């Protein structure tokens, strides 16, 4: 099989490429140039491109660099900024997977005659049931599982995607990289948004691209002003950092963010709890087919969050997931990944919180 391996310069994609070579596939490495600004968070820096190139040399495979910076700016960075202007909490890594890796890059792989696109994500593609070719499953390492950030993939993508390291734990990945003498064997994992430099952080990045506004913090129970924040656009529903404590000594959580009125409403843990999440119209994607209204589903609201049981409800008025028990609120703009309660490793689909 002729495969294009997306090599980010990290250990996972390095080992993914090595496994393809070991299996006898005709592998070619490709690193994406996505961000022209400064970066020190992984997968977008000059050093990462060099690491990927050197690993390809070690493996004896051809390596290319594809410049998709324009696409990345339009499909990931610009919407990221626009979401903060509107007081939403976007997930740029998911949007990069949706629009860049498994859209632009996958399309290019097809045009160039490759049979499949290989990535280093910790997730698995498995055979489906009759009528459904593929299932998307969690990686075998719970601590490194990345099925959440791939939860928007459908059958057309899974038909041409290979995820070899999903069958390995992280320890096994690093052990294999060390055995092969790959230069990325001990390289730390990327943790942050790749286009935001740690020296400036999210606030510094956004302040150069949009206006940030001070806002008052209001106690939702009494209606009294209890503080202020420097930038309402940087506050997230459910946030507790920087919100202080109430009169009862308990920590306060953000219950609502109103950007136009420059207001942040806070309350106790009970005030912040929610019994459901509404999904934005048009945001639902399915691995195989849509759930019937009234079906049970496990909902995961962050990359390594706890999956909670709820009921999927779809009507003409919209789509919501009612939780079996009150949960911390889901910030607008966050992805809600859905898993099968009968097989908690199996991804059903995803939507974006309204």
How would you label 138-161 residue by residue, b for 16+ Cβ within 10 Å and e otherwise? bbbbeebbbbbbbbbbbbebbebb
Report whether 209 contacts 81 (CB < 8 A).
Answer: yes
Let me know if 96 is a catalytic residue: yes
Distance CA 47, CA 39 (A): 10
67 contacts 100 by C-beta, under 8 angstroms = no
Question: Helix-strand-coil percent breakdown of the chain, rounded to 5?
Answer: 30, 30, 45
| R_g of the chain computed on alpha carbons | 21
The pairing of strands 2-6 and 26-33 is parallel
Give me the sheet containing 26-33, strands edge to edge.
63-67, 26-33, 2-6, 116-118, 161-162
Torsion angle, alpha carbons of 53, 56, 58, 61, to 10? -140
Give the DSSP H/E element, type plus range, for residue 81. Answer: helix 78-85
Site of tokens 């995961």: 300
Residues recorded for the chain: 354
Exactly one of 43, 44, 93, 194 is catalytic; which is it? 194
- C-alpha 244/C-alpha 241 separation (Å) is 8
Distance CA(290)–CA(295), nearest Å, equals 10
Tokens of 296: 């049970």
Phi, psi of 21 (to 5 degrees): -65, -45
Q: Which residues pair with 350 in a beta bridge?
A: 285, 337
- Active-site positions read 96, 194
């Amino acid at each position: 099989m002729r495969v294009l391996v997306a090599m980010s310069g990290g250990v996972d994609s390095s080992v993914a490429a090595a496994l393809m070579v070991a299996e006898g596939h005709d592998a070619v490495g490709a690193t994406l140039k996505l961000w022209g600004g400064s970066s020190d968070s992984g997968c977008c820096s000059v050093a990462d491109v060099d690491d990927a190139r050197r690993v390809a040399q070690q493996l004896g495979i051809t390596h290319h660099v594809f410049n998709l910076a324009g696409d990345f700016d339009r499909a990931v960075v610009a919407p990221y900024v626009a979401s903060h202007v509107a007081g939403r909490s976007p997930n740029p890594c998911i949007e990069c997977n949706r629009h860049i890796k498994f859209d632009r890059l996958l399309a290019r792989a097809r045009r160039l005659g490759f049979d499949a696109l290989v990535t280093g994500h910790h997730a698995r593609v498995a055979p489906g049931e009759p009528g459904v070719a593929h299932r998307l499953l969690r990686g075998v390492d719970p601590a490194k599982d990345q099925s959440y950030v791939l939860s928007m993939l459908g059958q057309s993508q899974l038909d041409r995607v290979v995820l070899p390291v999903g069958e390995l734990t992280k320890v096994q990945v690093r052990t294999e990289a060390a055995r092969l003498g790959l230069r990325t064997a001990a390289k730390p994992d990327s943790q942050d948004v790749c286009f935001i430099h740690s020296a400036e952080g999210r606030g510094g990045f956004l302040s150069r691209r949009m206006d940030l506004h001070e806002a008052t913090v209001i106690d939702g129970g009494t209606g009294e002003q209890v503080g202020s924040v420097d930038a309402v656009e940087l506050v997230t529903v459910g946030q507790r950092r920087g919100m202080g404590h109430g009169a009862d000594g308990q920590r306060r959580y953000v219950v609502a963010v109103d950007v136009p009125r420059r207001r942040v409403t806070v309350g106790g843990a009970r005030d912040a709890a929610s019994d459901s999440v509404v999904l934005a119209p048009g945001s639902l994607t399915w691995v195989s087919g849509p759930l019937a209204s009234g079906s049970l589903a496990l909902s995961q609201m962050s990359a390594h969050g706890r999956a909670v049981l709820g009921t999927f409800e779809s009507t003409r008025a919209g789509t919501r997931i009612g939780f079996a028990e009150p949960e911390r609120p889901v910030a607008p703009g966050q992805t809600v990944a859905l898993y099968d309660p009968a097989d908690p490793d199996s991804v059903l689909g995803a939507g974006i919180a309204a």
